[in-house]
């Protein structure tokens, strides 16, 4: 099948590469000429493990093409995926101007039946909105389908080639047949495709992300309470997760959830609720708890240094909002760095992948170390923000010799408390004894 993808951001690129990998001819459209030219030469504009190989393989096989010409791409395909940004507006609601702007152009340019598939995370009712905008520009028949994306950054290739489910919101038999054909390689291997109406599909995306954000936040509160009563959150987590109604995943406490999805989607769902006079009380509480959680280690660091951080040099390991990505959107690293700088501390940070993005934002307000150990030279303590694999089994003796104080504040519970005690460290993690 010929498929057009409008928008070559994160979701568009992964969706395009995946659909090409499944054997379709995929035409990716973006307004950014430089980006399109780079992609035509096989250069991928984002960091995502294993994506470049899949991308290059499909360009080579002539199944993946790039253009700035929407008309040309529209004429080639019956199915048009929209993978456009929906950034939060000032009030937290999703800004639909990109989605609706492209819908309008499609309405003006289309010359035959099209299925418009919305992959972006959009508020309930957007499919209907898109339908109205297109219908205001054409009398040619078309269908609008909602097909939310559930992939995780860092595991995008794995998640997109082996999704837990495919959700399709679609009320037309013609479009349903086309969507079933596109995803047949998945359904053939037993991956469920769940058809529903467009509104339910749109809400499924927000409900899934919000549920996971609540799950993490719940564990963060349990972890904080563990510290009060002397329980160990690792044990509680294992005990709870063994109930398969709860499950082991997304029960890891830490310094709050971040990234481009959970914070945005929780906010947007709260906002949409307000529009309907509906109060998402649980989600509002989740937001507040998460904001506090992000800097929960700052007062601990301050206490360790007798209430004064002036002139203290603090090493930070990890800047990305989670491992395996260069993304720093809503990353706890930024909240921590800003809070510590405000208290007069100096920061020396190390993150091989996300450093460039932080440099663009913070410039020389902080120092950047070339490797994880040199970050510790002359530092008064270490703060761990991201659970990068390279931090998992460090040389504790070397760390001790390079730090001024053997003190680690760990926002990701990377190490066994006993190991750190044996190595003579002061070790503060989340929800475990100090
Ligand atoms: C999330 C969802 O997991 C995807 O299913 C969804 O498709 C995506 O948003 C999206 O809407 O596009 P992502 O933002 O890439 O994916 O990251 P996650 O792996 O879900 O992590 C989100 C945040 O939660 C990170 O800050 C992570 O460190 C934190 N987290 C995750 C925890 O603190 N504890 C956990 O147990 C799991």
Average pLDDT of the chain to the nearest whole number: 96
Scanning the structure block, which residue is given the tokens 């969507």?
A: 179
> In the chain, what percentage of residues exceed pLDDT 70?
100
Indicate if ligand 1 lies below 6 Å from the C-beta of 321. Answer: yes
pLDDT at 316: 98
Q: Which two tokens stand for residue 243?
A: 């109930």
Q: Which of 10, 12, 148, 216 has the most ligand 1 atoms within 8 A of CB, as the residue to mutate?
A: 216
Angle at 220 between CA 347 and CA 251, to 5 degrees: 110
CATH 3.65.10.10 fits 206-293, yes or no: no
Q: Which CATH superfamily is domain 2-196 in?
A: NAD(P)-binding Rossmann-like Domain (3.40.50.720)
Shortest-distance Cα residue to atom 28 of ligand 1: 322
Model confidence pLDDT, tens digit, residues 248-297: 999 999 999 999 999 999 999 999 999 999 999 999 999 999 999 999 99
Distances (CA, A) of 64 to 29, 50, 57, 87, 384: 11, 16, 9, 27, 40
Per the annotation, binding residues are: 30, 35, 86, 121, 150-153, 205, 250-254, 258, 264, 322, 329
Q: Band the pLDDT of 89: cuts 50, 70, 90.
A: confident
**Residue 59: DSSP 8-state:** H
Higher pLDDT, 164 or 88: 164
pLDDT at 94: 84
Q: Which two tokens stand for residue 351?
A: 């993150």
- In 343-390, which residue ranges form alpha helices assigned H by DSSP? 355-362
Determine whether 170 is an active site residue: no
Q: Which CATH superfamily is domain 295-428 in?
A: NAD(P)-binding Rossmann-like Domain (3.40.50.720)
Q: Band the pLDDT of 185: cuts 50, 70, 90.
A: very high
Mean pLDDT computed over 396-415: 98
Least confident of 48-57, 301-310, 358-367: 48-57
User: What contacts 24+ positions apart, CB below 8 Å, involve 282-288?
Assistant: 282/214, 283/210, 283/213, 283/214, 286/210, 286/213, 286/214, 286/217, 287/263
* Phi–psi pair at 39, nearest 5 degrees: -70, -35
pLDDT at 93: 83
Model confidence pLDDT, tens digit, residues 192-249: 999 999 999 999 999 999 999 999 999 999 999 999 999 999 999 999 999 999 999 9
Indicate if ligand 1 lies below 6 Å from the C-beta of 3. Answer: no
Q: Which of 7, 234, 261 has the most ligand 1 atoms within 8 A of CB, as the residue to mutate?
A: 261
Question: Do the first three CATH levels of 2-196 and 206-293 match, i.e. the same topology?
Answer: no
- Element at 312 (helix H, strand E): none
pLDDT at 180: 98
Q: Band the pLDDT of 42: cuts 50, 70, 90.
A: confident
Q: In angstroms, what is the span from residue 151 Cα to ligand 1's centroid?
A: 9
Shortest-distance Cα residue to atom 17 of ligand 1: 152
- 35 CB burial (10 A radius; 0-12, 13-18, 19+): middle
Mean pLDDT computed over 355-377: 97
Name, in order, each residue with C-beta under 8 angstroms of 218's C-beta and a sequence gap of 6 or more: none
Between CA 249 and CA 232 the distance in angstroms is 18
Q: Is 426 within 8 Å of 407 (Cβ atoms)?
A: yes
Residues pairing with 169 in the sheet: 146, 196
Q: Is 127 within 8 Å of 117 (Cβ atoms)?
A: no
Mean pLDDT computed over 348-371: 97
Q: Is 88 within 8 Å of 268 (Cβ atoms)?
A: yes
Q: Which of 202, 212, 241 has the most ligand 1 atoms within 8 A of CB, as the residue to mutate?
A: 212
Q: Which two tokens stand for residue 424?
A: 């003579």
- In 110-197, which residue ranges form alpha helices assigned H by DSSP? 126-135, 156-161, 173-182, 184-187
Q: Band the pLDDT of 342: cuts 50, 70, 90.
A: very high
Q: Is 11 within 8 Å of 99 (Cβ atoms)?
A: no
Indicate if ligand 1 lies below 6 Å from the C-beta of 322. Answer: yes
Reduced to 3 states (helix: H, G, I; strand: E, B; else coil), residue 28 is strand
Q: Band the pLDDT of 91: cuts 50, 70, 90.
A: confident
Domain positions in the chain are: 2-196, 206-293, 295-428
Between CA 233 and CA 225 the distance in angstroms is 9
Least confident of 65-69, 94-98, 285-289, 414-418: 94-98
Indicate if ligand 1 lies below 6 Å from the C-beta of 259. Answer: yes
Name, in order, each residue with C-beta under 8 angstroms of 371's C-beta and a sequence gap of 6 or more: 350
Q: Is the pLDDT of residue 92 over 90?
A: no
Distances (CA, A) of 140 to 47, 61, 78, 108: 40, 33, 13, 10
pLDDT at 311: 97
First to last CA, the chain: 58
């Amino acid at each position: 099948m010929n498929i057009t993808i409008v928008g070559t951001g994160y979701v568009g690129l992964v969706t395009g590469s995946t659909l090409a990998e499944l054997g379709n001819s995929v035409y990716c459209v973006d307004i950014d000429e430089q980006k399109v030219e780079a992609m035509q030469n096989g250069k991928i504009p984002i960091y995502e493990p294993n994506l470049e190989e899949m991308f290059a393989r499909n360009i080579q096989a002539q199944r993946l093409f790039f253009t700035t010409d929407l008309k040309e791409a529209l004429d080639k395909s019956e199915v048009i995926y929209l993978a456009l940004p929906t950034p939060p507006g000032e009030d937290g609601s999703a800004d639909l101007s990109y989605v609706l702007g492209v819908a309008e152009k499609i309405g003006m340019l289309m010359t035959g039946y099209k299925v418009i598939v919305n992959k972006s995370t959009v508020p309930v009712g957007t499919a209907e909105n898109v339908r109205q905008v297109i219908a205001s520009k054409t009398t040619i028949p078309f269908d609008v389908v909602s097909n939310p994306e559930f992939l995780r950054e860092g595991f995008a290739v794995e998640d997109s080639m082996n999704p837990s489910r495919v959700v399709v919101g679609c009320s037309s038999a013609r479009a349903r047949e086309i969507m079933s054909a596109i995803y047949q390689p998945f359904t053939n291997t037993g991956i469920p495709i769940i058809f529903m109406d467009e509104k339910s599909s749109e809400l499924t995306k927000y409900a899934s992300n919000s549920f996971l954000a609540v799950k993490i936040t719940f564990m963060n509160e349990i972890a904080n309470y563990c510290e009060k009563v002397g329980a160990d959150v690792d044990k509680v987590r294992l005990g709870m997760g063994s109930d398969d109604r709860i499950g082991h995943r997304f029960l890891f406490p830490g310094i709050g959830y971040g990234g481009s999805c959970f914070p945005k989607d929780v906010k947007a769902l709260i906002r949409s609720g307000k529009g309907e006079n509906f109060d998402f009380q649980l989600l509002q509480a989740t937001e507040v708890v998460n904001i506090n959680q992000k800097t929960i280690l700052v007062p601990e660091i301050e206490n360790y240094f007798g209430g004064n951080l002036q002139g203290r040099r603090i090493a930070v390991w990890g800047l990305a909002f989670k491992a395996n990505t260069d993304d720093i959107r809503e990353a706890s690293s930024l909240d921590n760095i800003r809070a510590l700088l405000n208290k007069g501390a100096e920061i020396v940070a190390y993150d091989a992948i996300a450093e460039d993005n932080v440099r663009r934002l913070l410039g020389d307000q902080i120092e950047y170390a070339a490797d994880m150990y040199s970050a510790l030279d002359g530092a008064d303590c270490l703060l761990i923000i991201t659970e990068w694999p390279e931090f998992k089994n460090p040389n504790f003796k070397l760390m001790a010799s390079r730090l001024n104080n053997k003190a680690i504040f760990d926002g990701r519970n990377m190490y066994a408390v006993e190991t750190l005690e044996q190595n003579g460290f002061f070790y503060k993690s989340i929800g475990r004894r100090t």
